[in-house]
């Protein structure tokens, strides 16, 4: 058992060195919060360590770590939504800022992506921010490539119809 544990520790040390930046980036792009992304990255490698003795993903380690990171980040998103819903019932909502006054279009785009349903947002983040192919996304999310394509199509359709994004781009009212 001790030998397995040492082997797992060596594997995880290599993985952290090689993949920590991309795991953190994936978590950050989903969560948009530095501290939470750091927590998710750490949790990803802790989970990988616990699983390393029973599963060596070999060549697929990057996709395996992405899958762990994405799932962990989505769990955090769901937890936040539950907390936000509970807090929202306790206090009134704030008025949103006018996006046409914002010079930071990246923030408007980020907000538009954040408003997408989780299943669509994760596909967009994987494709356009992590530069994964549709095949890699399918492997990471454990879904069919056709499902990836339909999620990306639906996300693009929703983003194209986002009024706040249109105003920021100068196409709106």
CATH number at residue 86: 1.10.1740.10
CATH assignment of the domain containing 163? 1.10.10.10
Lowest mean per-residue pLDDT among 45-49, 63-67, 121-125, 165-169: 165-169
Are residue 65 and residue 105 in the same domain, yes or no?
no
Burial class of residue 107, CB neighbours in 10 A (0-12, 13-18, 19+): middle
Contact assessment for residue 112 and residue 165, using Cβ atoms and an 8 Å cutoff: yes
Please choose, from the candidates 43, 42, 12, 37, the residue with its C-alpha nearest in 3D space to the C-alpha of residue 25: 37
Place 24 in a pLDDT band, splitting at 50, 70 and 90: very high
The DSSP symbol for 136 reads: H
Are residue 46 and residue 102 in the same domain, yes or no?
no
Place 152 in a pLDDT band, splitting at 50, 70 and 90: very high
Are residue 60 and residue 8 in the same domain, yes or no?
yes
Are residue 138 and residue 119 in the same domain, yes or no?
yes
Overall domain count for the chain: 2
Mark which of 70, 94, 118 sits at the end of a domain: 94
Mark which of 32, 60, 94 sits at the end of a domain: 94
Q: Measuring CA to CA, how many Å separate 75 from each of 28, 71, 89, 102?
A: 14, 6, 22, 31
Are residue 54 and residue 118 in the same domain, yes or no?
no
Residue 129 structural domain: 98-173
Q: Measuring CA to CA, how many Å separate 96 from each of 88, 89, 110, 158, 166?
A: 15, 18, 15, 20, 16
Are residue 108 and residue 90 in the same domain, yes or no?
no
Mark which of 94, 112, 137 sits at the end of a domain: 94
Instruction: Kindly report, residue by residue over 59-117, the tens digit of the pLDDT.
Output: 688 888 999 999 999 889 888 877 776 666 655 444 454 544 444 677 788 888 888 89
CA 75 – CA 84 distance, rounded (Å): 14
């Amino acid at each position: 058992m001790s030998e397995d544990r040492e082997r797992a520790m060596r594997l995880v040390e290599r993985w952290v060195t090689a993949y920590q930046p991309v795991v953190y980036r994936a978590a950050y792009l989903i969560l948009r919060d530095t501290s939470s992304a750091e927590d998710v990255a750490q949790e990803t490698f802790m989970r990988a360590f616990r699983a390393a003795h029973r599963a060596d993903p070999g060549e697929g380690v990057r996709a395996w770590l992405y899958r762990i990171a994405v799932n962990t980040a989505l769990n955090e998103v769901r937890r936040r939504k539950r907390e936000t819903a509970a807090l929202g019932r306790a206090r009134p909502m704030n008025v949103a800022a006018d996006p046409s006054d914002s010079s930071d279009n990246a923030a408007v785009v980020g907000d538009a992506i954040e408003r997408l349903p989780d299943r669509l947002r994760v596909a967009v983040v994987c494709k356009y921010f992590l530069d994964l192919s549709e095949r890699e996304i399918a492997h990471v999310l454990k879904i069919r490539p056709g499902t990836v394509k339909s999620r990306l199509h639906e996300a693009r359709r929703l983003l194209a119809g986002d009024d706040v994004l249109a105003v920021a781009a100068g196409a709106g009212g």
